[in-house]
Structure 1
Amino acid sequence: MAIRTRFSRSFLFSNYSKSNFRNALGSRRNVQISRRACSKFQIPGYSLNVSRLSPNEVTSTIRANEYSQDFPTGPVKSYDTNQLASNNPIEDTRAEGKSLLSDAFLVGVFDGHAGAACAQVLAKRLFKYVAASLLSGEEISKLHTSLRDGGESRIIDYFNDRYEFVNELKSLYAQSFGKYVEDLASGQSTASIPNVPEALVTSFLRLDSDISREASTDLQGSKTLSVSMSGAVACVAVIQACHLHVATVGDCQAVVGIMTESKTWAAKKVSIEHNSDNMEEVERILSEHPPGEKTKIIERERLLGQLAPLRAFGDFRYKWSREELERLAVPRYGKTVIAPHYETPPYLTAKPDVMYHRITPKDKFLVIASDGLWDLLSPLQVVRMVGEHMSGRAALSPLRLPHNMKLKDINTILEQRKDGLNKVPVDRNGATHLIRNALGGSEYGGVEHSRISQLLSLPQDVVRLFRDDITITVVYFDSDYISHCPL
């Protein structure tokens, strides 16, 4: 993008530590990348002088942000997640949680641009909006009454969430959420049960609208304006029993790993990308503006020649009227904040496309990731890697045989475990396994230590030329639970 303004996480959070997200070796300057390696990344003639990292240093770096969570019951058996920064601070965020008011499990990846502020806010706020939208009319009325009477507004049980907004933002965001619940309560009958795709669309658009309103009415301005002028794409999955809904805004992707009848892995994409490769999306945008703008709206495969994703949260420099930009943004960011050929806004929306997938026992896992992963691996490669990782990890678990099992069946299980031992992974976390293979995978299989070492040793001022921030969450389904789900 033309605008690369950075907004420190400390503007938003009360206990932020940059060391949690900094590439452990990103500040090194002594790194050696050959001309041949650079040409492989299509930067001919670019040469760096650098040292290699040891295998232990590589492992320490890529495991720094990994996390795993197991569940005793329900459709989700466990999940693995990890992040690897390219930007400093990282512009990706992630969130996982369970609704305290329903059976919904939510997982999301948020890829920020022009700073990390908008993505950070989405990770902390969007699930509450979604969870409220998924309640029946009677349940939303109870929630509204509780909030009105000063009750607890915590409706999501987040996992691996270490941050809290600063008090002024916490209060402002609580007011916005309370007003949303009030509007939901006044607009629903007590018997209504929401349609999940509609609930996702409503919650996404309302949060984006609230971010705009907060920036334009908050007298303090600096923090809320920072959120509104940065942007983020999002991919959020809602799992309820055997039902999977995936809402996408932008170019994060989600894929389901399926074990076929022939015991091979298949990948099913359950997300829609909003970029210039999606011709339906390009045509949609062009159809919303006068024919005279047709050659100006998409230039160099970017919105107004600047923004790669064609849908996003925030980014109100592509949504507000010219008058609003002159009043709110120009005084702080200057005239260049208004894009060339800015004639008939809005050019951008946060409305998601929602895909539905009925989870079956053949569906073993879901992978959601930012485009930092998909730039390096295809959906099928990702599914095969996670599938092999599952087999290898299972071979290390204790063997428990049911009573009265036939010798032939026992022999089959032992043969499967023997095969799995040949695939025992270096990393127990599936997301870390993907990061290691995405950065170090060779054309002949396996991981080249020299390759991953070089990519992890790049100085901060050039690393973004070679790789993007990577955020991955792998959700493993419980096949036994799924097999008993009603049709």
Structure 2
Amino acid sequence: MPFLNMNSSKLNLLLNTVNTYLRLNSDVKQTILKKYFKENFTLFWNTTSSNTRYFHSSLKAAQVQKDGVTVLPSPQEVTTILRKNEFNKEFTTGSIKCYDSNQLASNDPIEDTRCEAQCRMTSGLIMGVFDGHGGPACAQVISKRLVDYIAAALLPIETLHKYIQQDPREALVDTFNNRVEILQELKILYERSFRQYLAELANLPHEGYNVPTALEQAIIKIDQDLSKEAVEPYKLNQVINPQTLSVALSGAVACVTHVDGPNLHIANVGDCNAVLGILTEDKEWIAKKITKEHNSENFDELKRIWNEHPDNERKTVIRRDRLLGELAPLRSLGDYRYKWPIEILMKVAVPLIGPKAIPANYHTPPYLTAKPDLYYHRLSTRDKFLILASDGLWDMMTPLQAVKLVGEHMKGKVFFNPLKLPRKNIQLGDINELLLHRKESLKSKPKDRNAATHLIRHAIGGTEYGVDHSRLAHLLSLSPDVSRMFRDDITVTVMYFDSEFLRQCPA
């Protein structure tokens, strides 16, 4: 068996991993077996693999040794870890009342990013979740730049021409919770690419305000720009910039939504997902999974890839449920190791990262596309919220479980607010009944005000009987090499819709 050839450190790591694995409930065990042991067996048996998406570990160990005994973080310390990156934003107009977001790292540094922005020259909110692999570079750059590309593509032609002539140009979007900062030299390069994109938009035929077209154009164009910015110096006989090359060679999947009044548009590339929480007339929660993953479990996606390559590559283009035996998502931005011609890879990528830059059986590129699937949903009063999340969440719970958790959170979080009497001159007996009802209802008050944190807490520590602190503390305190075997980075955004606003929208 393969583990008999391990050295002692690897064997100890495996034993520690198995010991932690045995603590988990059956549902989580099945998820780990399916996704991490099946797909990532090379973590132990092929440590030279070129695919780093699932092999890059992260979270700093929180457990400490005291008198030779391992001490796990306390409930307060666990909560501090979980709430470190949470964010909330409220709105006074439009169909979105507010949103909650949070992230929990497993990789170090975290490879997930997210973006939220309000369009300034058109109406609508743009929100996205980006799951990086092979490092955080691609996901970070996309999260900073994509909102501007989308906002520009949404501009009416007259407004676009005026905007191009501005000097300096005003911002197209107001961003929230913007924590990623790009280096100055890259800002100059990205600004030049964006100006070229604006010029191209001005020469394209415009059919008016078309959100699906804008989303697709922006995603495809920014992916093309990542390639151009990395390869252009080579074509001009200049020194290749290792920063732009690292962005192009790493990758990211993306789930981006644009909400304008009752109109919800979603563009999806890869295996992040958007799930709608719907409340029926019978007060039952329904989870409507809007997106569909681009991975080996999507047979239509497998057929698409097989049809794009010769029949003699059928056994090599998808191996071990991965593209060319390496990449789990079958669509992504960046990842130009699977898109460039072999001559470009030889001249640009191999000098930097060696022969492994060219995947095995690389005969008829491109093998990968950034073209998104597009979805539309008209919001109704029954639509209460939308969950955008990276696959780190969906690996740990089903869409229905997530929707029910957010639905329960909606009901319970009202108790974070002080009690307000429903009317003046209320009788003491009525106040007593109100207080008794509130006391009983306080049992459902969630531990976290932020719904994204609430989901992450239950994803990591949830059991059939609620959250198990010892499990939660243990999984949050695993050493970096072990942590990644149990979960991915998790990024969650929960958008709440204004039912009264949607009720007043014309049919």
**TM-score (norm: length of structure 2):** 0.83
Match of 1:59 in 2: 79
SS in 2 for 1:200: helix
Match of 1:337 in 2: 357
Alignment of 1:59-208 (within 5 A): 59-146=79-166, 150-189=167-206, 192-208=207-223
1:55 partner letter: P
Cα distance in 2 for partners of 1:285, 1:98 equals: 36
Matched residues, number? 446
2:448 partner letter: D
**How many Å apart are 1:479 and its aligned residue?**
1.1
Cα distance in 2 for partners of 1:318, 1:414 equals: 63
Match of 2:467 in 1: 447
2:97 partner letter: K
2:270 counterpart (226, 250, 253): 250
Cα distance in 1 for partners of 2:202, 2:425 equals: 56
CA distance change for structure 1 residues 74 and 420 in 2, over 3 Å: closer, same or farther?
A: farther
Q: Does 1:421 align with 2:457?
A: no
Match of 2:455 in 1: 434
SS in 2 for 1:235: strand
CA distance change for structure 1 residues 34 and 166 in 2, over 3 Å: closer, same or farther?
A: closer
CA distance change for structure 1 residues 396 and 270 in 2, over 3 Å: closer, same or farther?
A: same
CA distance change for structure 1 residues 129 and 392 in 2, over 3 Å: closer, same or farther?
A: same
Match of 1:37 in 2: 23
SS in 1 for 2:476: helix
Deviation string, structure 1 residues 163-215 (Cα, Å, up to 9, x no partner): 321111001101111111111112235xx414221211111100000010000
2:416·2:449 contact (CA, 8 Å) conserved in 1? Answer: no
Cα distance in 1 for partners of 2:321, 2:142 equals: 26
Match of 1:280 in 2: 300
Cα distance in 1 for partners of 2:337, 2:262 equals: 40
Match of 1:309 in 2: 329
1:483 partner letter: R
SS in 2 for 1:37: coil
**How many Å apart are 1:404 and its aligned residue?**
13
**How many Å apart are 1:315 and its aligned residue?**
0.2
**How many Å apart are 1:395 and its aligned residue?**
3.4
1:64 partner letter: K
Aligned sequence identity (%):
50
Cα distance in 1 for partners of 2:129, 2:441 equals: 30
Cα distance in 1 for partners of 2:382, 2:450 equals: 22
1:228·1:316 contact (CA, 8 Å) conserved in 2? Answer: yes
Match of 2:48 in 1: none
**How many Å apart are 1:37 and its aligned residue?**
2.0
Cα distance in 1 for partners of 2:156, 2:436 equals: 50
**How many Å apart are 1:399 and its aligned residue?**
3.8
SS in 2 for 1:94: strand
Query: Gaps (5+ residues) in structure 2?
Result: 1-15, 38-43, 45-62, 64-68, 234-238
**How many Å apart are 1:402 and its aligned residue?**
7.7
SS in 1 for 2:481: coil
Match of 1:25 in 2: none
Query: Gaps (5+ residues) in structure 1?
Result: 1-29
CA distance change for structure 1 residues 52 and 280 in 2, over 3 Å: closer, same or farther?
A: same
Deviation string, structure 1 residues 391-450 (Cα, Å, up to 9, x no partner): 001234344748999xxx99999998676433100000000000111111112x310001
Deviation string, structure 1 residues 337-369 (Cα, Å, up to 9, x no partner): 101110000000000001111111111111000
Cα distance in 1 for partners of 2:217, 2:425 equals: 53
2:255·2:266 contact (CA, 8 Å) conserved in 1? Answer: yes
SS in 2 for 1:347: coil
1:385·1:434 contact (CA, 8 Å) conserved in 2? Answer: yes
2:455 partner letter: L
Deviation string, structure 1 residues 260-279 (Cα, Å, up to 9, x no partner): 01001101111121000000
Q: Does 1:225 align with 2:245?
A: yes
Match of 1:11 in 2: none
2:481 counterpart (452, 461, 468): 461
Cα distance in 2 for partners of 1:277, 1:265 equals: 26
SS in 2 for 1:357: strand
2:396·2:459 contact (CA, 8 Å) conserved in 1? Answer: yes
1:93·1:109 contact (CA, 8 Å) conserved in 2? Answer: yes
CA distance change for structure 1 residues 57 and 145 in 2, over 3 Å: closer, same or farther?
A: same
After TM superposition, the structure 1 stretch with the greater mean CA deviation from structure 2, 151-160 or 226-235, is 151-160
Cα distance in 2 for partners of 1:415, 1:245 equals: 44
1:427 partner letter: D
Cα distance in 1 for partners of 2:170, 2:227 equals: 22
Cα distance in 2 for partners of 1:371, 1:238 equals: 20
CA distance change for structure 1 residues 347 and 403 in 2, over 3 Å: closer, same or farther?
A: farther
RMSD: 2.6
Alignment of 1:368-447 (within 5 A): 368-397=388-417, 398-399=419-420, 401=422, 420-443=441-464, 445-447=465-467
2:127·2:257 contact (CA, 8 Å) conserved in 1? Answer: yes
Cα distance in 2 for partners of 1:160, 1:122 equals: 15
1:75·1:242 contact (CA, 8 Å) conserved in 2? Answer: yes
Deviation string, structure 1 residues 269-292 (Cα, Å, up to 9, x no partner): 111210000000110111111111
CA distance change for structure 1 residues 453 and 342 in 2, over 3 Å: closer, same or farther?
A: same
Cα distance in 2 for partners of 1:212, 1:96 equals: 25
CA distance change for structure 1 residues 35 and 440 in 2, over 3 Å: closer, same or farther?
A: closer
1:312·1:350 contact (CA, 8 Å) conserved in 2? Answer: yes
Kindly indicate which of the two structures has a greater share of residues assigned to helix.
2
**How many Å apart are 1:466 and its aligned residue?**
1.0
